Structure 1
Amino acid sequence: MSAAAPATLPAFDPRDPLSLDGLLDDEERLIRDTVRQYVREKFLPHVAGYFENGSLPETTGPELGQLGLLGMHLEGYGCAGASATAYGLTCLELEAGDSGLRSYCSVQGSLAMFAIYRWGSEEQKQRWLPGMAAGTTIGCFGLTEPDAGSNPAGMRTRAKKVGDKWVLNGTKMWITNGSLADVAIVWARTEEGKVNGFLVEKGMPGFTAPVMHGKLSLRASVTSELVLDGVEVPEANRLTEATSLRAPLSCLNEARYGIVWGAAGAARACYEAALDYAKTRVQFDKPIAGYQLTQAKLVEMAVKVGQSTMLAMHLGRLKDAGTLRTEQVSFGKYHNVHAALEVAHSARSVLGANGITLEYPVLRHANNLESVYTYEGTHEMHTLILGQAITGLAAFT
């Protein structure tokens, strides 16, 4: 027997057309609202300047740390121990502000901190994680190289054991927070062919992290090169449990999960900007929201945002249950980033010429999403991951 319908249905919310808010518990809603308030009150009023200047303020780390957002899905060592869904909601709200802000949190927590948490020794965890959770110690993650992006097995960075130390030589590229980092998680291949992770500390002789300039995307984020020229790293700084590519790839999967949610946030920000603009922009004596072509664009955007958020939430519940597969994370990144790009481009057309200015968030998000489309696994790589899962046949080469 079906349950009785409520006396009155809740009003349709154009900003939450699928009523997904009702699927959250009180703690998840509180975390979501806290992050949303921070983004809207502390970050958004200044983000245009951050994007134009190509940087984030030094206070970003401590502010995120005070909110308990850095490594929030990890247990102990000053970390909040929040659910995967709560972490996802955090990524959504941060990227609704800017992809650079979500990347800061994601690189710190899902890459650098997770690498130590999952693959490091107890001594390494005690030394690094509390400060990183507080945002007073910044980390970065060095896997990508000039000639090894989609194929990390082709890395050329080498680690040679000399006495009780390791000597590292090589170059890493496109490293978020590299120039800011107090510690870099650097992945290198040993003489035995194993892939090890090393904690390379700021100031170690031979280690430099020059800022990469000329970006047209992810400008509210510091991107760097890591140069290792005979850097001597003590054995105590080697991630003791990491001996193969499985280690860095597990970190990437954590970060990709956050991107699934973050892309939905960027899409929502673009959709809301277009909706607000269309209801107030008057042409031919009425708001442009009253024209069929504009409504068609808004409907398409609303559907994509709803689908992306619902998909992210489903993956979050799977992750909390311990049943989320890497192929399903690829499914989420494949769909949500592509959908977010489409929403951003459509929203830009609704705003007309105003859509290209920093007064509105749309083209800033569109530019950022061009980076999100290719980092943490390109769209093509996730296509092949899903293709192999569906057919049972690998087609990477």
Structure 2
Amino acid sequence: MAPGPRALFDLDKLLTDDERTVRDAVRRFATDKVLPRVPDWFERGILPRELATECGAMGLFGMHLQGYGCAGMTAVEYGLACMELEAVDSGLRSLVSVQGSLAMTAIHRFGTEEQKNRWLPKMAAGEVVGCFGLTEPDHGSDPAGMRTRATASDGGWVLNGTKMWITNGGIADVAVVWARTDEGVRGFLVPRDTPGFTVRDVTRKLSLRASVTSELVFEDCRVPAASLLPGATGLRGPLSCLNEARYGILWGVLGAARACFDAAREYALTREQFGRPIAGFQLTQRKLVDMQLELTKGLLLALHLGRLKDSGEITPQQVSMGKLNNVREALAIAREARTILGANGVTLDYPVIRHMNNLESVLTYEGTNEIQTLIVGQELTGLPAYS
């Protein structure tokens, strides 16, 4: 193998032929079909709806689920796919993980056969986009305080409340909505055209601009009894879906980190100051070495957790540890890469500032850095410290 970062850590030797095939196929799709368009989407703050159809044709939606048109791939294969998607943009990986790990997983895990057959094949194909309504304007890290309520009425349910920071909301055809009921928190499938359900997109974002983020508003929104997801009562249901999403994130952010490292390394080898490439200066080499060390350790952690997940042994606390470490280190790598590029690092001519801004959101969504810390802290001490 030629000298370079991949020679220091040859991940391929730890992967199966099938895993490498999945990774390479997703990399080609993301790099060839999506990457050329992303800087424009980011600058304009849009995500075209037709991208969902393209992702569906690639089998990316719900790829870790079995049946109903889903690919049924392993946790490691799904993780590798997330890494290649986020190497292009966090918005692309968010589209896929919210659709698959949140909305589709909720239906697959807690829905009736009728609900699964109605929604999952079309969602797997990208013909239907879903979103996941849990977070509220005043209740993010503490979902137990949610105010959205579903009241039984005339053989159905009436929803009232607001959800905030909902990825895919503005392009979603169906929302998985979590609400308080007399018997605890329950999940509901709410089609976009349901009277009393309105969506307002969040604008003026400086992060995840190539992604749709929305507010969901329910005002006397009536849904039939068949909209209820019968398999989930209480917060354990939505939190288990968040754990699935966190697993994809702990892989995905390594793609963003790798893209930043590669951009910084290439720039350092070609940018000359004081008569030679800046890659030949000790301080620049120290930055590149530190970035590669953390990227390598993050990959080993992600692969280990993927193997545990495929064997059915992974715990939510281990997933939290993975998200905590890998998001934190990916953001540090992006920031360090920006310093190597200097002023060029703040333009969209290079991917670094885009990834850096995106990772600021990834640091706090699907469970903030602080919440992941407290989850791991409770595992270490046996003592909850959330309040």
Q: TM-score, normalised by structure 2?
A: 0.99
Shift of 1:13: 4.0
Shift of 1:326: 0.3
Alignment partner, residue 88 of structure 2 = 97
Match of 1:188 among 164, 171, 179: 179
Tell me, yes or no, if the aligned pair for 1:13 and 1:19 is still in contact at 8 Å.
no
- In structure 2, C-alpha distance between the alignment counterparts of 1:239 and 1:131, rounded to whole Å: 18
Is 1:124 paired with 2:115? yes
Deviations 1:272-291 (A, max 9, x none): 00001101111111111000
Is 1:361 paired with 2:351? yes
Aligned to 1:328, the other structure's residue is in SS state helix
- In structure 2, C-alpha distance between the alignment counterparts of 1:178 and 1:17, rounded to whole Å: 42
Match of 1:160 among 140, 151, 167: 151
Shift of 1:305: 0.8
Shift of 1:58: 2.1
Tell me, yes or no, if the aligned pair for 1:138 and 1:180 is still in contact at 8 Å.
yes
Aligned to 2:204, the other structure's residue is in SS state coil
Aligned to 2:201, the other structure's residue is in SS state coil
Is 1:232 paired with 2:232? no
Aligned to 2:297, the other structure's residue is in SS state helix
Alignment partner, residue 382 of structure 2 = 392
- Structure 2's unaligned 5+ residue stretches are none
Alignment partner, residue 193 of structure 2 = 203
Tell me, yes or no, if the aligned pair for 1:200 and 1:237 is still in contact at 8 Å.
yes
Is 1:88 paired with 2:79? yes
Alignment partner, residue 147 of structure 1 = 138
Tell me, yes or no, if the aligned pair for 1:15 and 1:272 is still in contact at 8 Å.
no
Equivalent positions of 1:48-63 (< 5 A) are 48-63=39-54
Is 1:76 paired with 2:42? no
Is 1:382 paired with 2:372? yes
Aligned to 1:219, the other structure's residue is in SS state coil
Shift of 1:17: 2.2
Aligned to 1:227, the other structure's residue is in SS state strand
- In structure 2, C-alpha distance between the alignment counterparts of 1:136 and 1:153, rounded to whole Å: 33
Alignment partner, residue 4 of structure 1 = none
Q: Which moved more, 1:212-221 or 1:50-59?
A: 50-59
Aligned to 2:175, the other structure's residue is in SS state strand
CA distance 1:81–1:281, change in 2 (3 Å) = same
- In structure 1, C-alpha distance between the alignment counterparts of 2:137 and 2:238, rounded to whole Å: 17
Runs (4+) of structure 1 exceeding 6 A deviation are none
Match of 1:329 among 319, 322, 328: 319
RMSD: 0.8
Alignment partner, residue 271 of structure 2 = 281
- Structure 1's unaligned 5+ residue stretches are 1-9
Aligned to 2:64, the other structure's residue is in SS state coil
- In structure 1, C-alpha distance between the alignment counterparts of 2:240 and 2:89, rounded to whole Å: 25
Shift of 1:16: 5.3
Q: How many residues are paired up?
A: 387
Aligned to 1:75, the other structure's residue is in SS state coil
Q: TM-score, normalised by structure 1?
A: 0.96
Alignment partner, residue 177 of structure 1 = 168
Shift of 1:370: 0.3
- In structure 1, C-alpha distance between the alignment counterparts of 2:130 and 2:89, rounded to whole Å: 20
- In structure 1, C-alpha distance between the alignment counterparts of 2:244 and 2:3, rounded to whole Å: 34
Alignment partner, residue 241 of structure 2 = 251
The residue identity in structure 1 corresponding to 2:152 is K
- In structure 2, C-alpha distance between the alignment counterparts of 1:393 and 1:12, rounded to whole Å: 48
Deviations 1:103-126 (A, max 9, x none): 000000000000000000010000
